[in-house]
Amino acid sequence: MPTVSVITAAYGPSAHHLAETARGVRAQQLPPGWSLEWVVQEDGERPVLADALGAQAEYGHNGTRLGIAATRNLALARATGALVQNLDHDDVLLPHALATLIRRFEEHPIHWAVGAADDLLEDGARRSWDSAMPFGLLPAGDVNRWAERHGGNWPVHGGGLMVRADTLRAIGGWTGIPVDDDLAALVAVSELTDGWNDPTVTWLYRKHPAQTTRNSHYPGLEDTGRRIALQRAKALRNAGLALTAAPSFDGGGTDVRVGPNIKPAPTG
């Protein structure tokens, strides 16, 4: 039975909407034959979310403040799914979200997919957006070329990315930068592989005063993540790299075994 792993990096002081995020995960209506695991990794020195999540999530914590990219990657190390769905701790998956995108992987030899997102406003209202890219198959490189023509602004959102787990691991997981790590990961997979832009609204992007994009812990880096993403896209293109489609849902990292560390002890 193939598994989809929903990965959430959480941080206690700003996880005010985690209960609603959890309800969205529980409400998922999966295609026949699929299973779901929710892998939550909590950042910070003082973990506080374990009791609130209970048995509904595969929970782990960092024990120190590492930032969102490292926290996502630690969750990825524990994930067993063939597909990975990113989900921020304040966003909401609609009940049909995973089923909608999983079917695209079953129907097409793609490595990644995104559904449309509505903004979820503070008063509970939703605001929709028109897609800047055509719906359906997006050939490798098209998303980044659009961004290059539009000042480093991307037409799809990395926050709602579903991706083959092996592909995500092959590019190094979420990019190890303090801002826009999800964007830089999207840039890599979309430059190297074909993907899918689905017209179905599959998730809600919550807009609120405490969200990370409004309260950066790294002032002065507002444009740095987008610059790194553009540089990454051009570097991948110049290197002539590409990935072929993976036709099955085998794997997911569960066959990896790590033995004792045999590095010699330092001398002197």
Q: Name the band, by pLDDT with cuts 50, 70 and 90, for residue 19.
A: very high
Report yes or no: 71 and 9 within 8 Å, Cβ to Cβ. yes
Q: What does DSSP assign to residue 264?
A: P
Rounded Cα gap, residues 4 and 163, in angstroms: 10
CA angle centred on 256, ends 166 and 240, rounded to 5°: 35
Reference 21, options 31, 35, 9; nearest CA is 9
**pLDDT of the residue at 264:** 73
Q: Whole-angstrom Cα distance, residue 107 to residue 94?
A: 21
CA-atom Rg of the chain in angstroms:
18
Q: What is the pLDDT of residues 196-252, one digit of tens each?
A: 999 999 999 998 666 565 556 667 788 999 999 999 999 999 999 988 877 678 755
Average pLDDT over residues 44-54: 95
- Structure tokens given for 116: 């449309």
Q: Can you identify the CATH homologous superfamily of domain 3-134+156-177+195-209?
A: Spore Coat Polysaccharide Biosynthesis Protein SpsA; Chain A (3.90.550.10)
Lowest mean pLDDT among 39-48, 174-183, 239-248: 239-248
Res. 262 pLDDT band, cuts 50 70 90: confident
Note the pLDDT of residue 244. 81
pLDDT at 268 over 70: no
Q: What percent of the chain has pLDDT over 70?
A: 92
- What are phi and psi for residue 204, nearest 5 degrees? -115, 125
Which of residues 58 and 212 earns the better pLDDT score?
58
Is residue 81 scored above 70 in pLDDT?
A: yes
d(CA 191, CA 159): 17
Contact 167, 249 (CB under 8 A): no
Query: What's the pLDDT score for residue 79?
Result: 96
Prediction pTM value: 0.93
**Residue 127 in this model has a pLDDT that exceeds 70:** yes
Q: Which two tokens stand for residue 253?
A: 């990292």
pLDDT at 216: 61
Q: Position of tokens 């036709």?
A: 247
pLDDT over 90 at 256, yes or no? no
Q: Are 138 and 196 in contact (CB under 8 A)?
A: yes
pLDDT at 111 over 70: yes
CB-based contact 157:88 (threshold 8 Å): no
The total of other beta-carbon atoms located within 10 Å of residue 258's CB is 5
pLDDT tops 80 at residue 265: no
CA 127 from centre of chain = 22
The pLDDT of 52-58, averaged and rounded, is 94
What is the mean predicted confidence (pLDDT) over 98-122? 96
Q: Given a cut of 90, is residue 258 above it in pLDDT? A: no
Tens of pLDDT, residues 135-165: 999 999 999 999 999 999 999 989 999 999 9
Rounded to a whole number of angstroms, the distance between the first and last alpha carbons of the chain is: 53
For residue 156, which of 167, 168, 143, 165 has the smallest C-alpha distance?
143
What's the Cα-to-Cα distance from 35 to each of 30, 94, 236, rounded to whole Å? 7, 17, 34
